[in-house]
Amino acid sequence: MSLNDLEEQVERIYIDMENELLLNIAKKLSAGKPMEIDKWDEVHHQPLEGSGGVNEWQLQRLKELNGLNEENAKIIAKYSGKTVKEVEQVFAKAREIGMTKDEATINEGVRLGILNEINPDTEELAVRGILSSATKEVLTTFNKQNNSLLASAGSEYTNIVNKVSSQVMAGTKTVGKAMQEAVSQLAEKGLTGFTAKNGARWSPEAYTKMLLRTNTQNTINNIQEERIQACGGDFIEISSHIGARPLCSQDQGKVFSLSGYSGYIEDLDGAKVKVRPWNSSTYGEPAGILGINCRHSRYMFVPGLSKKREMDFTKKENDEAYIEMQRQRQYERTIRNKKREIAMLKQTGAEPSYIKRKQNSLSNTRKEYLEFLDKTGRTRITANEWIGSTSLSPKAKEKATKSYQSWKKQEDKKKLPKVVKSDDVILQNKVDYDIMGMQGIVPSNTTITNVRIIAGKDSSVDIRDRYKIAEKYNVNATELNKKVGVVQGKYYDYEIHWYEANGLQLEAKLKNKPKERK
C-alpha cells in the first residue's frame, strides 16, 4: 500500500468521526418534546410571539448538553483507537521510503569509491530517533484536535439551540425554517479541528491531511539527509510535477547543495549542472518547497554518477494546471458539504420540499463540475467527493467501507500513467542470455539506467501473472512492478526486463538482442 493510501486511511477516520458527531448533534436537536407556539399569524404564516413552549424547549435542549458531550466523547474515543495503529503504519512506510530512495545511488557511489559506507548501527539509532519524535508529535497533535472537536461540537449545538429559540421568540422565523437554516449552515461550516493564531479555522479533514503529509514528508527528508551526510554526499535534486504551487514551482527540477555551495557540477554525461545553495530555496516557508501539503520529493545527486531529470512542461502549463487543480478541489469540497447537509436535514426531520431543494442544488453542482472536467480534460476523483457512511449499521458501514476501498484502488489505478520513469538501480543478480545466436552474461552489480515501470502497482497496466509470481517468491502481489532498463556494456547495450517488489529484483532477463554501441 502506498504512503498516500495509508495517509488517506487516517483522513477517512476523521471524516467519519466528524460526520458522526454532526449527525449526533442533529439527532439531539430533533429528540424530545417539540417546540410549541401560542399565537400564529394566519395571514403572514409566521409566529406572532413566542410562548412558554419556546423557553421550555430551549432549557431542555441546553440541559442535554452534558449528555451530548458524553456521547460525543465516546464517538471520538472509538475512532481515536484506530488512529494510533494507522499512524504507526504511515510512519513505517515513510521510513521505508526514506531508507530506500537513494539506496541504489549510494551503493554505486560506494562501489566506485566516490561515497563512504554508512555505519548501519549509527544509521539505525538516528532513524529511530527521527521516527519516534515524528510519531509522538503527530499523535499528541491528534489528541489536541480531538479535544477541539469535542468543544466545537458542544459549542455549535448550543449556538443552534439559542439561535433557533431567539428567532422563533422574535417571530422572524418558524420553528422548521429556523432549524433547517441553522442545520444547513452547520453542515457547510463543519466542526473545527484546529484554530490558527490568526483565527483561521481548519476542518478536521484538512488539518489531518496537512499534519500527516507535512510530517511524513519531513520524516522522509530527515532520514534522507541523515544518510546523505553519513555517506559524504552534499547535493540533492528536487522532483517536478505539473500543477505545482507558485513557490514550489520556483525550485522544482533544480539541484541544490546542503552545505551552501554555489556553482556548477557535471552529471553522468558530462553535462554542466547549475547548483544553488539550499538556503536560497523556498524551503522553510509554509507554502514553499517541502512545506505544508507539498507533494515534491528530493533525490541524492552525485557528480559524475547521477543524471539530471528534465521537466517536460513549461511554466505557463504548470500555472494553468495549478489553477485548474485548485478549482477542482473547491468543487469537491462543495459537493461533500452539500451531501453532509442533506444527511443532517434528514436526521432533524426537515421538510421534504426543503430537502428536495438541497438535492437539486447538489445535482446542479455535480453537473457544473462534470462540465468543468470535460472542458479542462481533468480526471474526476470520486473518492474526494465521498463523505463516509452517514446512517448505516456497523455491519453495513464496514461493508460500505470495504466496497469503497476496493473501488478506490481501481479508480487510482486508472489515473496512473502506463509508463513511469524510475531511478537507476544496481542489477542484483547476473543475467544469462541466449538470443538469436548471441550468448553471454550480464554481470551483477552493474548499473541499470533509463529505468521505466511498464506494469504493476505504479502503472495503469496490470501484471497478468502477478498472483503466480507473488506466490512463487512469497511477496505481496499488490507491491509488484514490472520494470525495464538498459545496462551499458563496452560494446553492447543490454535491455533488461524484471519484476520488483520492495526492492527485490525477480526473474531478470533479456527480451531483445543486445544492441551494438556506435
What are the boundaries of each domain within the chain? 3-232, 234-311, 315-415, 420-516
pLDDT at residue 402 is higher than 70 = no
If we measure between CA atoms, which residue out of 487, 481, 486, 488 comes closest to residue 503? 481
407 vs 12, higher pLDDT: 12
For residues 505 and 427, the answer to whether their CB atoms sit within 8 Å is yes
Supply the mean pLDDT for the chain: 86
Cβ–Cβ under 8 Å, residues 482 and 453 = yes
Residue 414 has pLDDT above 80, yes or no: no
Please say if the pLDDT value at position 395 is more than 60: no
Say if residues 291 and 94 touch (Cβ distance below 8 Å): no
- The pLDDT score that the predictor gives to residue 50 is 46
Q: What is the pLDDT of residue 136?
A: 93
Taking the model in full, what pTM does it have? Answer: 0.67
Percentage with pLDDT > 70 across the chain? 90
Higher pLDDT, 437 or 148: 148
User: Which pLDDT score, from 0 to 100, does residue 392 have?
Assistant: 45
**What is the spatial distance between Cα 399 and Cα 407, in angstroms, rounded to a whole number?**
12
Q: Is 344:185 a contact under the CB 8 Å cutoff? A: no
Q: Is 335 left (phi over 0), alpha (psi -120 to 50) or beta?
A: alpha
CB contact set of 258 (below 8 Å; sequence gap of 6+) = 225, 228, 229, 234, 235, 236, 278
Q: What's the mean pLDDT in 214-232?
A: 92
Distance, in Å, from the CA atom of 100 to the CA atom of 105, rounded to the nearest integer, reads 10
Q: Is the pLDDT of residue 49 over 60?
A: no
Q: What is the pLDDT of residue 293?
A: 79
Q: Say yes or no to pLDDT of 21 above 50.
A: yes
pLDDT tens sequence across 114-132: 999 999 999 999 999 999 9
Residue 143: the pLDDT is 93
Average pLDDT of 149-161? 94
Q: Residue 517 has what pLDDT?
A: 79
For residues 495 and 238, what is the distance between their CA atoms, to the nearest angstrom? 28
* Average pLDDT value for residue range 203-209: 89
pLDDT in tens, 300-328: 999 999 988 776 667 787 788 888 888 99
Whether the Cβ atoms of residue 253 and residue 310 lie closer than 8 Å to each other: yes
Lowest-confidence segment of 142-146, 217-221, 279-283, 437-441 by average pLDDT: 437-441
433-467 pLDDT per residue, tens:
888 788 889 999 999 999 999 998 888 888 888 88
**Residue 453: predicted pLDDT:** 94
